[in-house]
Amino acid sequence: MRILRIFVFSCVLLSSCALSAAAMVRDTIQTQPRPIALEPATKKEPLLAGCSVGFDVCGTVMALATPFGQYEGMFRVNLKKRFFPTAELGLGVSNHTDETSNIKYKTASPYLRLGVDYNFLKDRHSENRLFGGIRFAYTSYKFDLSAPDLKDPIYGTTVPFNLTGIKGNMLWSEVMFGVEAKIWKFFHVGWSVRYKLRLHESKTEVDNAWYVPGYGRYGSNGLGGSFNVVFDI
Amino acid sequence: MTIGKIFPFIASLFILGACSNIDCPLDNVVEMTCGLYSAEKKTSLKLTDTLTVMPLHSDSVLLNRAQNVSSFVLPLSYAGDVDTLLFRFSNAEGQSATDTLWIGKTNQKHFESSDCPLSIFHTLQTVRWSSHDISVMPVTIDSVSLVRPIVNYENIENLRIFLRTAQ
């Protein structure tokens, strides 16, 4: 079952990536004749060139098909088609019981990311983006942990291990890189890879957490990604 | 930079990010490490007599007839605030005597990851001991010092047990 879920998730992810890449290539081909140099050098972009909203498909698929994931929405402002201040608000969820240890981990907590993207494309009038960005993110979360009773090594008695509402918080930063392509009029898709670096965290009552909402697995290598569906408003 | 160059780069990052590993500690046994020292010389001591350690009110044996040891490890109870351990010394001449060690502690539940076993860590707070008459059995606990209160996966000396011997 787990392998099937991973397979489905991989197929969705790869097809999504292929879709956005194909859209970008198509748009590049279609727009190739447009002479960038012919645009007036002095043409000024308006400071506020638009706003967008979107959500992360990758996190939603993960939430539905894997042990953890997130439902995440974003709001973005387009400044001069070059800078994109962005807010991402999400709900990280996990309800997972490990097959071997029988430890159950359950959480559903919000997180917030604030940051800015920079569009590297020379042709900034293109509806596509090749961007890098940074984020600062914070979550204050709670989780429940339950496991089979522990057997005391001296007296042989059992000690329960059921804890609810364990509190923790984490502040982290993200460096990201990604692409976004226009699919139709106000509809865009894009994906990004992110490297996450923990800046501050509180020790929980049981020392560690397993999944931190928005950050991912606590002991992971800090790499993550997203696949966004974006609508201009 | 073209899409053809970017796509493999980002795809490889996705594949790298999809890798998961299990970071369970290799040594996941929580035990208190005790070192034996000479009360007179304050140096490490190899015990030539036999030492057995048992908890009070339990049939379990925590250290069974150890000889020629200068250190050993003992488990601690998961729930109690004070562990009472009986140190029974004996020798080939048939002499034997028992000293008692009371260890006051707090217990902390420790979670590493969903795929690792759970543990109980301890923080040692107080240590008391009793000694017997050296004429009954020519080795006894003279004093005990607490050198590292945290008892976790690391096998670092927690207690120094100074033994007084008949010279």
- Tell the burial category of A202 from Cβ atoms under 10 Å away from its Cβ (0-12, 13-18, 19+): exposed
**Cβ–Cβ gap A152/B110 under 8 Å:** no
Interhelix angle B3-18/A2-31, rounded to 10 degrees, is 160
Rg (CA), chain B: 23
Q: Tell me the nearest-neighbour CA distance from A30 into chain B, angstroms.
A: 15
Q: What is the DSSP letter of A152?
A: P
The residues pairing with A195 across neighbouring beta strands, listed in sequence order, are A175, A223
CATH code of residue A8: 2.40.160.20
How confident is the model at residue B4, as a pLDDT?
A: 57
Q: Which domain holds residue A117?
A: 2-33+45-232
In a domain, residue A86? The reply is yes
Q: Are B76 and B83 within 8 A, CB to CB?
A: yes
Mean of per-residue pLDDT scores for chain B: 87
- Selection from A200, A218, A220 nearest residue A209 by Cα: A218
In a domain, residue A38? The reply is no
The partner residue sitting opposite A210, judged by closest CB among B3, B78, B113, is B113
A202 versus A27: the higher-pLDDT residue is A202
Q: Tell me the nearest-neighbour CA distance from B159 into chain A, angstroms.
A: 19
Mean pLDDT, range A186-204, rounded to an integer: 91
| Residue B96 vs residues A103, B61, B70, B93, B143: alpha-carbon distances, Å | 46, 17, 19, 9, 19
* Buried-state track A150-176, b at ≥16 Cβ within 10 A, e below 16: bebbbbeeebebebeebebebebbbeb
Q: What is the pLDDT of residues B104-125, one digit of tens each?
A: 999 999 998 888 889 999 999 9
**Cβ–Cβ gap B83/A205 under 8 Å:** no
In a domain, residue A39? The reply is no
pTM for the full model?
0.77
Q: How many CA atoms lie within 13 A of B77 on its CB side?
A: 22
In a domain, residue A169? The reply is yes
Q: Tell me the nearest-neighbour CA distance from A153 into chain B, angstroms.
A: 6
Q: What is the DSSP letter of A66?
A: S
Q: Which helix (H) or strand (E) holds A7?
A: helix A2-31
User: How many percent of chain A have pLDDT more than 70?
Assistant: 82
**Cβ–Cβ gap B115/A98 under 8 Å:** yes
In a domain, residue A218? The reply is yes
- Tell the burial category of A196 from Cβ atoms under 10 Å away from its Cβ (0-12, 13-18, 19+): buried
Q: What is the DSSP letter of B81?
A: S
SS3 A203: coil
In a domain, residue A40? The reply is no
Please give the Cα distance from A139 to A152 (Å, whole number). 35
Most confident of A35-49, A195-209, B22-36: A195-209
Residues 98-127 of A with CB under 8 A from B: 98, 100-101, 103, 105
Q: How many domains does chain A have?
A: 1
How confident is the model at residue B12, as a pLDDT?
A: 61
Q: Tell me the nearest-neighbour CA distance from A233 into chain B, angstroms.
A: 27
**Cβ–Cβ gap B77/A153 under 8 Å:** yes
Please give the Cα distance from B101 to B137 (Å, whole number). 17
Return the sign of the alpha-carbon dihedral for residues B155, B161, B162, B167: negative
Q: Tell me the nearest-neighbour CA distance from B105 into chain A, angstroms.
A: 15
Q: What is the pLDDT of residues B27-46, one digit of tens each?
A: 889 999 999 999 999 999 99
Please give the Cα distance from A171 to A201 (Å, whole number). 6
- Tell the burial category of A32 from Cβ atoms under 10 Å away from its Cβ (0-12, 13-18, 19+): exposed
Please give the Cα distance from A137 to A72 (Å, whole number). 13
Q: Which chain A residues have a beta carbon less than 8 Å from that of B58?
A: 154-156
In a domain, residue A59? The reply is yes
In a domain, residue A173? The reply is yes
**Cβ–Cβ gap B112/A98 under 8 Å:** no
Nearest-10 Cα torsion for B59, B64, B70, B75: -40
Q: Which chain B residues have a beta carbon less than 8 Å from that of A65?
A: none
Q: What is the pLDDT of residues A119-154, one digit of tens each?
A: 988 887 777 888 999 999 999 999 999 999 999 988
DSSP result, A25-61: HHHHHHHTTS-GGGS-TTPPPPSEEEEEEEEEHHHHH
Backbone φ and ψ for B100, nearest 5 degrees, come out as -125, 140
Q: What is the pLDDT of residues A97-123, one digit of tens each?
A: 998 889 999 999 999 999 999 998 888
B142 versus A41: the higher-pLDDT residue is B142
How confident is the model at residue A6, as a pLDDT?
A: 47
Q: Which chain B residues have a beta carbon less than 8 Å from that of A96?
A: 114
A191 touches chain B (CB under 8 A): yes
Q: Which helix (H) or strand (E) holds A231?
A: strand A223-232
Q: Which of A101, A121, A154, A227 to mutate to test the interface with B (most CBs of B within 10 A)?
A: A154
A10 has pLDDT over 70: no
Q: Which chain A residues have a beta carbon less than 8 Å from that of B61?
A: none
Q: What is the pLDDT of residues A151-174, one digit of tens each?
A: 998 888 899 989 999 999 999 999
Q: Which chain A residues have a beta carbon less than 8 Å from that of B102?
A: none
B7 touches chain A (CB under 8 A): yes
Q: What is the pLDDT of residues B115-164, one digit of tens each?
A: 888 999 999 999 999 999 988 889 999 999 999 999 999 989 999 999 99
**Cβ–Cβ gap A153/B20 under 8 Å:** no
Structure tokens at A68: 């953890």
Please give the Cα distance from B71 to B55 (Å, whole number). 18
Q: Which of B32, B77, B105, B111 to mutate to test the interface with A (most CBs of A within 10 A)?
A: B111
User: From B7, which residue of chain A is nearest by alpha-carbon distance?
Assistant: A21
Q: Which chain A residues have a beta carbon less than 8 Å from that of B12?
A: none
Please give the Cα distance from B113 to A146 (Å, whole number). 12
Residues 23-42 of A with CB under 8 A from B: 24-25, 28
